[in-house]
Amino acid sequence: MTYRVVRIPGDGVGPEVLAAGRSVLDAAATTFGFSIEWTDIVVGGGAIDAFGVPIREEDLELARTSDAVYLGAIGGPRWDDPSAPVRPEQALFALRGGLELFANLRPVTVHPALVHSSPVRADLLEGVDLLIVRELTSGLYFGRPSEERATADGRVAVDTLWYTDGEIRRVARLAFELARGRSKRLTSVDKANVLASSRLWRKVVDELRPDYPDVEVEHRLVDATAMLLVKRPASFDVLVTENLFGDILSDEASVLAGSLGMLPSASVGDRRTAHGLHGLYEPIHGSAPHMAGTDRANPIGAILSGAMLCRWSLGREDAAAAIESAVSRALDDGVRTADLMPRDEEGLERVGTAGMAEAIVARLGAPVLGSPVLGAPVLGDPIAGPAR
Ligand code: IPM
Ligand code: MG
């Protein structure tokens, strides 16, 4: 079996972490007897330089007709001028919106060997295993108008926080389904004491409750949730929230895992291919331009995104679980990138981006029962998918 995956190395450290991720995916494919046909496309800052646009229509079409999209990172200071008419990030929105990837899944687990890499107290990190489901194609990121205007009172800028009940329902339903496959607890996060869009969000979530009597639902305000994510992170299971709230809370939650570089993500909608859900997979860290080309970036977020790609879009649970176990074993064995190891420590081996990928490839094999598996319990049954 050959799967077709479109690769978007992108800007900054994107190409390095994606090369690392590709080597792990290719090795897993060999282990499990399949192959991946890669098509690279230039998107983001690189595309602005080469073609004058953040993403070309024909490249969006390649992404749409693939089995999955694997992305490194997009953006950088070179393209950051606030008055520039085109920005690299527009490519992300074109991909998310154009491929209808309305849900962004960000699992956060804490590997036992990394509890001391987090600034959060070790006893609070015990048992942390949460999944943020961020709405990805509406809300403040997509609402119109979004512009600056010259008025008699000076310059005015407006952004629009817009949600239809349908947009809320489809992402909330997916979150209910995911909660059902985990510990059956769902936290819906909003700002219903202030925002009309949040009050609609609450109503729609409540309307879905009868379909999921086995799932315990709580509503929480986003400010209190931000506090509780640090104070008692282990009390959360699945969180579902509006686009911007999810963006902010997921960076906050990444601190629990020891480094932003650890966290993978999957963006999915409800379009299916022959093998699973169509989706886009990327680490949640950005392009980290100061580190680009130095072989210092942590590729684990990209590698675990590759595992999610196998599970959700290719229907290859075997490869996904094996990659997750191999990452766990490398960490158990003391292999660390610089972000996970600020000082040299006895028993730990400091490696670069490529070195971490090699350490993980060397540990690929059938998953060992009982070894902690990063991100594995998160995903329910991707092939059965949400019931509709
Ligand atoms: C993310 C990033 C993007 C976002 C940026 C780069 C536009 O922060 O994927 O979380 O805000 O969605
Ligand atoms: Mg973000």
Q: Tens digits of per-residue pLDDT, 19-28?
A: 999 999 999 9
- Model-level pTM greater than 0.85? yes
In this predicted structure, what is the pLDDT of residue 280?
A: 98
Instruction: Report cis status (omega within 30 of 0) of the bond before 145.
Output: yes
- CATH number of the domain enclosing 98: 3.40.718.10
Alpha carbon distances (Å) from 330 to 197, 325, 352: 44, 9, 13
Is 90 exceeded by the pLDDT of residue 388?
no
The arithmetic mean of pLDDT across residues 81-97, rounded, is 94
> Are 290 and 348 contained in the same domain?
yes
Residue 113 domain flag? no
Alpha carbon distances (Å) from 112 to 254, 304, 307, 332, 372: 15, 17, 20, 8, 8
Residue 98 domain flag? yes
Q: Atom 9 in ligand 1: which residue has the minimum CA distance?
A: 284
Residue 41 domain flag? yes
What mean pLDDT, rounded, does the chain reach? Answer: 93
Q: What residues sit around ligand 2, an ion, with C-beta below 5 angstroms?
A: 247
> Are 71 and 83 contained in the same domain?
yes
Residue 112 domain flag? no
- The sign of the dihedral angle between the CA atoms of 14, 309, 262, 108 is positive
Residue 302 near residue 20 (C-beta atoms within 8 A) = yes
For residue 92, the ligand 1 atom closest to its alpha carbon is: 7
Domain termination residue (choose one: 235, 257, 279): 257
For residue 250, the ligand 1 atom closest to its alpha carbon is: 10
> Are 126 and 215 contained in the same domain?
yes
CA distance linking residue 183 with residue 178, whole number of Å: 9
> Are 141 and 22 contained in the same domain?
no
Is 70 exceeded by the pLDDT of residue 375?
no
What is the chain's length?
A: 388
Domain termination residue (choose one: 238, 257, 276): 257
Pocket flag, ligand 1, residue 89 (CB < 6 Å): yes
Pocket flag, ligand 1, residue 247 (CB < 6 Å): yes
> Are 101 and 127 contained in the same domain?
no
Q: Containing domain of residue 383, as a range?
A: 1-105+259-388
Say how many Å lie between the CA of residue 247 and the centre of ligand 1: 7
Pocket flag, ligand 1, residue 92 (CB < 6 Å): yes
User: In the annotation, is 67 catalytic?
Assistant: no
> Are 180 and 272 contained in the same domain?
no
> Are 266 and 380 contained in the same domain?
yes
Residue 235 domain flag? yes
Residue 35 domain flag? yes
> Are 253 and 278 contained in the same domain?
no
> Are 379 and 349 contained in the same domain?
yes
Residue 202 domain flag? yes
Give the model's confidence band at 366: pLDDT under 50 very low, under 70 low, under 90 confident, else very high. low
Report how many domains make up the chain: 2
Mutate to test the pocket of ligand 1, among 11, 55, 71, 89 (most ligand atoms within 8 A of CB): 89
The arithmetic mean of pLDDT across residues 253-267, rounded, is 95
